[in-house]
Amino acid sequence: MGTIVNLAWLYAITKYGYPPSLKDTFEAFNDAKRLGFKYVELEAYQENNLNEIERNREKLLEHCESLELKIVNFAGIFPEIISFNSLIREKGLRMMERAAKLANYFNASLLQTDTFTPPLRFRGAKPYSNAIVFGEEYYIEIDREFSWRNFWKSLVEIMKKISKIAEEYGLKFVIEPRVGETISNSDAMLRLIDEVNADNFGAVLDTGHLHAAKELIPLSIEKLSEKIWYVHISDNDGRDNLHLAPGEGTIDWEGVFKGLKKFNFRGPIAIDVGGKEILKELDEKVIEARKFIEKMINKYEL
């Protein structure tokens, strides 16, 4: 099977809030069908949302099947996994196992999470404290007791454990570098991949986040190479972390797809277009992005 195009969960977040209610989750699947998608992703944000999805998993799967939609990626977004408190961290790990069970139940092939912002003290805004807000400024204070080496060691250990859980459920486990998080660029992602050292642990190439981090995305692809198992597509000007339709920013899309072609990429490509800046044009921009990416996939025979 060739590369597929799916709708990222940012669409639901932009239209319905974070996290979407159960009712709005059903509506988001309806939206995906209406916009011409056959594949979608689904996300559980914190424990209450996870509980709700678990309780209604049969109805959610039945609804997707009735729409001829397939869930390709399930993301468990639980900041507890990076806590310095071992009890909280273990709680996060248990929630990730529940997320893996759901991914398996929904017949998804990918399990995803984030690496979140390290446990630092912020003066003012904090990254992703209220879904995704672009163009914020951040100021931090680092406690004398904070140790990056200890924090990194804990991160590697928890990612190894989640990788093992994912493997038990027949899943690939992926992380995306995101601006302002522990893993914020391709070099950090590469280091984490090397230290976790699990066959089923890989990367999400998020073009919007990497471009906002001033990365040369074709070089990012070269670094991560065969470990890129999922792609999130959006565009921006390289200054603000906007998630615009391809062509509305300054990303070198020919370079991106030449890189993916070089490493024979065959994973899903998600249309990750959204944000309050384009809410009024959301459907139009998502359709525009889908058509552009489908054209590029055909051009490069992915």
Can you give the pTM of this predicted structure? 0.95
Estimate the crossing angle of helix 217-224 against helix 253-262, to 10 degrees: 10
Q: Which domain holds residue 24?
A: 5-299
Using an 8 Å Cβ cutoff, are 78 and 92 in contact? yes
Structurally, the chain folds into a number of domains equal to 1
User: The domain that contains 273 carries what CATH number?
Assistant: 3.20.20.150
The pLDDT profile of the chain, 302 residues, written as one tens digit per residue, is 579 999 999 999 999 999 999 999 999 999 999 999 999 999 999 999 999 999 999 999 999 999 999 999 999 999 999 998 999 999 999 999 999 999 999 999 999 999 999 888 888 777 765 555 656 778 888 888 889 999 999 999 999 999 999 999 999 999 999 988 999 999 999 999 999 999 999 999 999 999 999 999 999 999 999 999 999 999 999 888 899 999 999 999 999 999 999 999 999 999 999 999 899 999 999 999 999 999 999 999 99
Using an 8 Å Cβ cutoff, are 302 and 265 in contact? yes
For residue 177, say if its preceding peptide bond is cis, omega within 30 degrees of 0: no
